Amino acid sequence: MGILLFGVVKETAGCAVLDCPAYIKDVATLKRWLYEQYPSLQQLSSLMIAVNRSYASDDQEFTDRDEIAVIPPVSGG
Amino acid sequence: MGILLFGVVKETAGCAVLDCPAYIKDVATLKRWLYEQYPSLQQLSSLMIAVNRSYASDDQEFTDRDEIAVIPPVSGG
Amino acid sequence: MDVLITIKEKITVEEALAFIQTPTCGGEVIFAGTVRNHTHKRAVTHLFYECYEPMALSEMRKIADQVKEKWAIEKLVMLHAIGALYPGDIAVVIAVASAHRGIAFDACEYVIDTLKETVPIWKKEFFADEQPV
Amino acid sequence: MDVLITIKEKITVEEALAFIQTPTCGGEVIFAGTVRNHTHKRAVTHLFYECYEPMALSEMRKIADQVKEKWAIEKLVMLHAIGALYPGDIAVVIAVASAHRGIAFDACEYVIDTLKETVPIWKKEFFADEQPV
């Protein structure tokens, strides 16, 4: 399934949409997988996952019909 | 000497400059005299006197070379 | 701190903005006070602002001095309208620019609160249910 | 409470003012965040703002809902610019109108503070002492 990347995560991965393995079905597993793929993300002060455009907790599950996005520390305003 | 009136004090006295007796040489005496002349001023929440464009305390003295103004409660802004 | 203090018949938010905008500042806070069309449920037709101008300017300068002492503000504007004002018209504009937004909010609120307490300007309200004078 | 939420390439304080001005309100508080020409003493040539737009709009609506619950605010505007911005350009405008100025200050500061924490918008800085990409 494709997950949306923004900001420094997008720059680190070098792409705006990342394909992640089908076995990943919850936020905690996705974050673990991201940290394995891109260890430098562990240096960020936070890394949030949004499920269907809302911040999700670690135990939230999702399917490939959900819109998943990786949200590094925001810096708007 | 002429003292400057504003707002409700001007409306009460019916004039913008009031002539006050020469024996008045300090703020407290001026306020007492104003209250005698216009008892309705006692209903105001405050009545300040400005000497040379600065708020003056009751014990401040002045002469006829000073600019004296009566400042009812302000309502700018 | 650059300061613009003005009392005149017509004031605008734009002139305040034009004065405070600078590439060195990150945050600008502006307060605009407009004439309401009612006071305590009574319909207001217009207001008349009267001013003891030299003292009002002097008191506004004192507020600016206090701001300069209290906060690291780069630019401060205080505009006050006088004369006849109608509902929707702008009576007062306070604008503050600072590198830090928190103190810009604090300073802007301090200025309008203090102005309303100390600056010799008086507002007379004219009501719809009143006989014309 | 009337709400205007916009994310677009160019925003102005004037459009925020136009939305919030109303004869029923006494106090308007506006925050404008502008691009600074330096960050930690390094000269900034420009910024690029990137945005996860549908979620950003949704988070901005959540902030508006919180404001509506907390305070008696009549009008609220939240504008955010995206794309390339240069020193002096306006990146964000928050505007609040209320009959009571104290809560207008509180609400305006709450909105900008919360927006900076929760709304998925990212700023990339380009420095003068950097190689062009």
Rounded CA separation C133/C126 (Å): 9
Instruction: With beta carbons under 8 A apart, name residues in chain A contacting D115.
Output: 76-77
Rounded CA separation A51/A64 (Å): 11
Q: Which residues contact A40 (CB under 8 A, 6 or more apart)?
A: A12
Rounded CA separation D97/D107 (Å): 10
pLDDT at position C26 is 85
Q: What is the mean pLDDT of residues A10-30?
A: 96
pLDDT at position D30 is 98
Domains of chain A: 2-71 (3.10.20.30)
CATH number of D2-127: 3.90.1170.40
Q: Is the pLDDT of residue C43 over 60?
A: yes
Burial classification of residue D62, based on how many CB atoms lie within 10 Å of its CB (0-12 exposed, 13-18 middle, 19 or more buried): middle
Of B4-8, D14-18, D22-26, the least confident:
D22-26
Q: What is the band of C18 on the pLDDT scale with cuts at 50, 70, 90? A: very high
C-alpha separations of B12 from B9, B60, C7, C60 in Å: 5, 25, 26, 27
Q: Are strands A2-5 and A68-71 parallel, antiparallel or unpaired?
A: parallel
Return mean pLDDT, chain D: 94
pLDDT at position B53 is 98
Q: What is the band of D131 on the pLDDT scale with cuts at 50, 70, 90? A: low
At D104, is the secondary structure helix, strand, or coil? Answer: helix
Phi, psi at A9, each rounded to 5°: -70, -40
Q: Is the pLDDT of residue C132 over 90?
A: no
CA distance D23 to chain C (A): 4
Q: What is the mean pLDDT of residues C22-40?
A: 90
Question: From the list B53, B72, B75, which residue is nearest C55 (CB)?
Answer: B53
pLDDT in tens, C49-93: 999 999 999 999 999 999 999 999 999 999 999 999 999 999 999
pLDDT in tens, A45-70: 999 999 999 999 999 999 999 999 99
Query: Is C33's CB within 8 Å of B7's CB?
Result: no
pLDDT in tens, B26-75: 999 999 999 999 999 999 999 999 999 999 999 999 999 999 999 999 99
Return mean pLDDT, chain A: 97
Chains C and D touch (3+ CB pairs under 8 A): yes
> In chain C, which residue's Cα lies nearest the Cα of D14?
C14
pLDDT at position C133 is 52
Answer for the pair C76, C107: CB distance below 8 angstroms, yes or no.
Answer: yes
Q: What is the band of D24 on the pLDDT scale with cuts at 50, 70, 90? A: confident
> In chain C, which residue's Cα lies nearest the Cα of D95?
C30
At B21, is the secondary structure helix, strand, or coil? Answer: coil
Query: Is C13's CB within 8 Å of D34's CB?
Result: no
Return mean pLDDT, chain C: 94
Instruction: With beta carbons under 8 A apart, name residues in chain D contacting A72.
Output: 122
Q: Is the pLDDT of residue D132 over 70?
A: no
Q: Is the pLDDT of residue D34 over 80?
A: yes
pLDDT at position C23 is 81
pTM for the full model? Answer: 0.94
pLDDT at position A1 is 82
Instruction: Kindly give the interhelix angle for D13-20 and C13-20, rounded to the nearest 10 degrees.
Output: 150
Asked if C85 reaches chain B (Cβ–Cβ under 8 Å), the answer is no
Tell me the ipTM for this assembly: 0.93
Q: Is the pLDDT of residue D98 over 90?
A: yes
Query: Is B69's CB within 8 Å of C116's CB?
Result: no
